[in-house]
A = this chain, B = another copy of it.
């Protein structure tokens, strides 16, 4: 069975960077935005639309709510259609993740991968950081290209987290960020992403941690 590492993360805490570094150090495939492209291809939906659904950037709408209450054209058939699209995208996401995990050793960021691939017993990481570090990281990465002030950035960061949590909880029935759903939770305000990657690759170069 291939080795799989999944990375759940608070927004702005460096989860993606950790995934990329681990991929370089360990030689595992790294899957992130490629997943969206693949889902779009299979569902014949636009990539941007798929991204909106699974990244919930504009707010997580429980499919049933979108169908019944919040959808602008809130009538039965439009609602049902949207609900079907959500279900289709999530189902394709699960298929794509399973296939990727069967191709090779891999690292997957987000996507409820820790849950979807749970029978393959991935090493499940969760990455977080204090809010000031996260604001700083977002500024450095030029988040959304705008010059958001710290107060607005803070609000945006917390909003994205909230949506991630709702999405995760809706699809998995579990609590996002609860340590019991992960094998290692790392505070990158204290242990830098670079140090964390080195520490983990050192540990994983022995056979025993992957079951």
Contacts and interface: CB of A to CB of B under 8 A. Distances in A.
Contacts of A123: 190
Interface stretch (A60-68, A136-144, A146-154, A195-203): A195-203
Interface stretch (A82-90, A93-101, A181-189): A181-189
A209 interface: yes
Contacts of A184: 184-187, 190-191
Contact of A182 (B187, B198, B203, B211): B187
Contacts of A191: 183-184, 203, 209
B186 A128 contact: no
Contacts of A187: 179, 182-184
Number of this chain's copies in the complex: 2
Contact of A203 (B179, B199, B208): B199
A131 B128 CA distance: 25
A154 to B, nearest CB: 15
A186 to B, nearest CB: 6
Given A123-B190, A190-B123, A209 B182 contact: no
Contact of A199 (B179, B180, B202): B202
A208 B180 contact: no
17 contacts: A126-B179, A128-B179, A177-B179, A179-B185, A182-B187, A183-B186, A183-B187, A183-B190, A184-B184, A184-B187, A184-B191, A190-B211, A192-B208, A195-B208, A198-B203, A199-B200, A199-B203
- Can you list the 7 inter-chain pairs with the closest CB atoms, starting with the nearest? A185-B185, A183-B190, A183-B187, A199-B203, A179-B185, A179-B179, A202-B202
